[in-house]
């Protein structure tokens, strides 16, 4: 009895030690993940760890009866997990850190239970993946696709009701009203929760493997079709009762009803499969409540092995090193504040603008500049946005316009790269991303590039690589995004827009060099105050910043 009790205490001590060490190591990624859980798309993730424990509890009796042997593969996976942590931290990609955390949990289970234990416990381990938010670039690409598909099907629903409607991109034109299908209406708010719920239904369903597969895979078309039906109904209501039908409580309530309808469709599938098997619903889809003794017996029966002890030792030592070893101090380049960027650039006269604090909180920029420049002969201004970061670590990094523009409702009609001649000091060309975007009958032409420590980069994935590499080799992760845009009329006016932006680039680029430091900039090591400022979330209001500087 005492030996069993001592073994239980040993197992619990190992669990607490491993959990504490993993939490300490991956704290930044976990903090970001927690904040993402407060977004509508990921509210369901708060329940996933508890459901994973329940799924493990369901297999507790089988695990207790099994003969488990450790595996050194778990220790190897733990080193891969720490590698993901290192790369994610250096490249400012939180998703790598978060997947590294999940892999660290898997590694400990594999080290303690081996291949046989993994076969018994794979369901709760895989379920943990659903608590990790998708990377921003994947979310935005998926959102854009779902927006377009939802718009098309939603318009088909409106036309089926006998109403005349015109669709351009994600804008549904009803004549008197226009509806913009944005992220909230794209299905993303239902897709991730329903995928998670569909996986749970599939693993709890006591049917054939192909029936389980259908349950899980069908969550995607169910979400798209039901959400498209919702958009169609909103369009019909707006046509007859006014635009308030698409706003406020009714909009949110309809979303909740649609999600519950999707769940109802899943349960209908389960009912159909149960009838096919000649069993009742509760029998084929039973939510068992196992005895608490099953869980305690699993803990008592487990014998820590060398592989698990080695894995816990590795993660414990890594956590201690993360506390005791100081990181290399960040190097900060000397530069002129963007607030001093001239309001006259060549023939262009500019007026500086402001940006709401809510957006600054999200962008977490160190310095920024936003303005509109106009030449006397032009009918449309050049809008300038420059976002600068002293450090692009820990999630504070440039946001690609490819992600931001669709979020504002703009449809990307054409994306390419363009060489702007006679820009560089030696007469060379500056390569920029060229984007044609549209919103209803409005069109804009956008040029943008990433200024990264002396490099001009047009690929956001290369930006992440250079952040990692330069942070590792030079202790620098500063960088900026430069975006220029101008309104154009018809598509035939695009050459005029190109000429306007090219002229502005030639006039502005030499001046930007004072504000966006290159590879040979004067450098200084960040002080403790600098590091505290770099870790701060939002940039303060521009007026407050300038007042403090005075």
Q: Using one digit for the tens of pLDDT, what is the confidence trace for 499-515?
A: 999 999 999 988 898 89
159: buried, middle or exposed (CB in 10 Å: 19+, 13-18, 0-12)? middle
pTM exceeds 0.85, yes or no: no
Angle between helices 219-241 and 248-276 (to 10 degrees): 140
Q: Is the pLDDT of residue 540 over 80?
A: no
Q: What is the C-alpha to C-alpha distance for residues 244 and 171, in angstroms, rounded to an integer?
A: 17
Supply the pLDDT for residue 108: 94
Supply the pLDDT for residue 98: 94
Supply the pLDDT for residue 407: 53
Q: Give percent of the chain with pLDDT exceeding 90.
A: 33
Mean pLDDT of 246-255: 58
State the Cα torsion 331-335-338-343 to the nearest 10°.
-160
180 — pLDDT class (breaks 50, 70, 90): low
In DSSP terms, 433 is beta-bridged to: 417, 448
Is 78 or 513 the better-scoring residue by pLDDT?
78
- Mean pLDDT, the chain, as a whole number? 82
Supply the pLDDT for residue 214: 93
Query: Which of 416, 412, 432 lies closest to 424 in space, CA to CA?
Result: 432
> CB within 8 A of 57, min separation 6: which ones?
290, 294, 295
Q: Is the pLDDT of residue 184 over 60?
A: no
Supply the pLDDT for residue 248: 55
Q: What is the C-alpha to C-alpha distance for residues 127 and 484, in angstroms, rounded to an integer?
A: 43
Q: Is the pLDDT of residue 84 over 60?
A: yes
Mean pLDDT of 39-53: 89
Q: Give percent of the chain with pLDDT exceeding 70.
A: 83
Cβ–Cβ < 8 Å for 24, 97: no
Supply the pLDDT for residue 426: 73
Q: Is the pLDDT of residue 544 over 60?
A: no
DSSP H/E element including 220: helix 219-241
Mean pLDDT of 449-475: 87
Mean pLDDT of 311-322: 93
Mean pLDDT of 169-182: 66
Mean pLDDT of 280-297: 79
DSSP H/E element including 107: helix 94-127
Supply the pLDDT for residue 1: 47
Q: Is the pLDDT of residue 12 over 80?
A: yes
């Amino acid at each position: 009895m005492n030996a069993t009790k001592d073994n239980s205490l040993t197992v619990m001590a190992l669990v607490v030690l491993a959990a504490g060490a993993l939490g300490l190591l991956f704290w930044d990624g976990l903090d970001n993940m927690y904040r993402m859980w407060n977004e509508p798309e990921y509210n369901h993730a708060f329940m996933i760890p508890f459901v994973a424990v329940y799924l493990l509890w369901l297999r507790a009796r089988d695990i207790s009866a099994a003969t488990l042997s450790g595996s050194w593969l778990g220790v190897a996976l733990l080193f891969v997990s720490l590698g993901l942590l290192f790369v994610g931290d250096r490249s400012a990609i939180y998703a790598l850190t978060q997947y590294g955390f999940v892999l660290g949990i898997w590694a400990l289970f594999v080290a303690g239970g081996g291949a046989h234990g993994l076969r018994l416990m794979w369901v709760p381990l895989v379920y943990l993946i659903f608590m990790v938010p998708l990377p921003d670039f994947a979310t935005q690409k998926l959102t854009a696709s779902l927006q377009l598909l939802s718009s098309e099907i939603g318009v088909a629903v409106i036309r089926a009701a006998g109403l005349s409607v015109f669709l351009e991109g994600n804008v549904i034109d009803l004549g008197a009203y226009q509806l913009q299908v944005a992220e909230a209406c794209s299905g993303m708010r239902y897709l991730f929760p329903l995928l998670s719920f569909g996986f749970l239904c599939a693993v709890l369903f006591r049917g054939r493997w192909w029936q389980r597969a259908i349950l899980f895979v069908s969550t995607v078309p169910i979400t798209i079709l039901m959400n498209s039906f919702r958009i169609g109904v909103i369009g019909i209501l707006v046509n007859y009762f006014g635009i308030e039908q698409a706003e406020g409580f009714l909009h949110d309530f309809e979303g909740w009803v649609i999600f519950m309808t999707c769940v109802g469709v899943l349960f209908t599938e389960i009912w159909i499969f149960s009838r096919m098997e000649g069993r009742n619903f509760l029998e084929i889809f039973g939510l068992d409540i196992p005895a608490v003794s099953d869980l305690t017996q699993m803990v008592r029966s487990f014998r820590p092995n060398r592989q698990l002890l080695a894995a816990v030792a590795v993660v414990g030592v890594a956590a201690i090193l993360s506390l005791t070893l100081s990181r290399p101090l960040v190097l900060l380049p000397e530069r002129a504040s963007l607030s001093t960027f001239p309001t006259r650039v060549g023939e262009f006269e500019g007026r500086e603008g402001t940006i709401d604090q809510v957006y600054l909180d999200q962008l977490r920029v160190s310095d920024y500049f936003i303005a509109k420049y106009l030449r006397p002969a032009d009918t449309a201004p050049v809008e300038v946005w420059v976002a600068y970061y002293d450090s692009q670590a820990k999630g504070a990094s440039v946001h690609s316009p490819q992600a931001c523009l669709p979020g504002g409702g703009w449809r990307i009609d054409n994306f390419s790269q363009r060489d702007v001649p006679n820009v560089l000091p030696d007469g060379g060309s500056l390569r920029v991303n060229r984007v044609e975007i549209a919103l209803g009958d409005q069109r804009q032409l956008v040029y943008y590039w990433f200024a990264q420590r002396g490099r001009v980069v047009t690929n956001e994935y290369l930006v992440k690589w250079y952040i990692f590499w330069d942070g590792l080799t030079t202790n620098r992760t500063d960088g900026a995004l430069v975006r220029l845009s101008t309104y154009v009329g018809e598509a035939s006016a695009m050459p005029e827009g190109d000429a306007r932006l090219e002229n502005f680039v030639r006039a502005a680029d030499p001046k930007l060099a004072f504000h966006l430091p290159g590879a040979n900039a004067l450098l200084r090591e960040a002080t403790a105050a600098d590091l505290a400022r770099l870790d701060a979330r939002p940039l303060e209001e521009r007026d407050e910043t300038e007042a403090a500087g005075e």
